[in-house]
A and B are shown apart, each in its own frame.
Chain A
Amino acid sequence: MSDEVSVEEVADAMYKQIADAQGLKKLKPGDVTKMMRELYGDRVDKKLCKLAIRILIESERCVYTYFGGSYIELPPKEGEEK
Chain B
Amino acid sequence: MAELPATPLLDDLEKGPWPSFVTEIKNAALHKDSCKDLLGQLERSYREKIGHWKHGGIVGVLGYGGGVIGRYSDLPKEFPGIAHFHTLRINQPSGWFYTSKALRDICDLWEEHGSGLTNMHGSTGDIILLGTTTDELEPTFKALTDVGFDIGGSGSDVRTPSCCVGPARCEWACYDTLKVCYQLTMDYQDEIHRPMFPYKFKFKMSGCPNDCVASIARSDMSIIGTWRDDIQQDDAAVKEYADKGLNIQRDVVGNCPGQCMEWDGEKLTIDNDLCRRCMHCINAMPKALAPGKDRGATILLGSKAPIVEGALLSSVLIPFLKIDNEEDFKDLQALVEEIWEVWGEEGKNRERVGEFIQRVGMANFLEAIGLEPVAEMVAHPRENPYVFYNQGDDEEEDK
Contact = CB atoms under 8 A, between A and B. Distances in A.
Contacts, number: 68
Interface in A23-80: 28-30, 33, 50, 53-54, 57-58, 60, 63-70, 73, 75-76
A29 B194 contact: yes
B57 A67 contact: yes
A48 to B, nearest CB: 13
Contact of A70 (B70, B155, B190, B344): B155
A64 B60 contact: yes
Nearest to B190: A50
B134 to A, nearest CB: 10
A63 to B, nearest CB: 5
B137 to A, nearest CB: 13
Nearest to B308: A68
Given A57-B63, A82-B58, A66 B154 contact: yes
B196 interface: yes
Given A70-B66, A70-B155, A65 B194 contact: no
Contacts of B197: 30
A50 B198 CA distance: 15
Contact of A64 (B65, B69, B198): B65
Interface residues of A, number: 22
Contact of A29 (B58, B70, B154, B196): B196
B156 interface: yes
B157 A70 contact: yes
Nearest to A72: B65
Contacts of A68: 56, 350
Interface residues of B, number: 25
B195 to A, nearest CB: 3
B62 interface: yes
Contact of A30 (B58, B62, B70, B344): B344
Interface string B123-138: 0000000000000000
Contact of B62 (A29, A58, A70): A58
Contacts of B66: 64, 70
A50 B58 contact: no
A29 B57 contact: no
Nearest to A63: B58
A33 B198 CA distance: 12
Given A28-B349, A57-B65, A58-B63, A66 B198 contact: no
Contacts of B199: 69
A61 B58 CA distance: 14
Contacts of A28: 156, 195, 198, 349
A66 B70 contact: yes
A66 B56 contact: yes
User: 9 shortest A-B CB distances, which residue pairs?
Assistant: A64-B65, A70-B195, A70-B155, A70-B156, A66-B56, A29-B196, A82-B57, A65-B58, A69-B156
Interface of B: 56-58, 60, 62-66, 69-70, 154-157, 190, 194-199, 344, 349-350
28 contacts: A28-B198, A29-B156, A29-B194, A29-B195, A30-B197, A30-B344, A50-B190, A53-B194, A54-B63, A57-B63, A58-B62, A58-B63, A63-B58, A64-B60, A64-B155, A64-B194, A64-B195, A65-B57, A65-B58, A66-B57, A66-B58, A66-B69, A67-B57, A69-B198, A69-B350, A70-B155, A70-B157, A82-B57
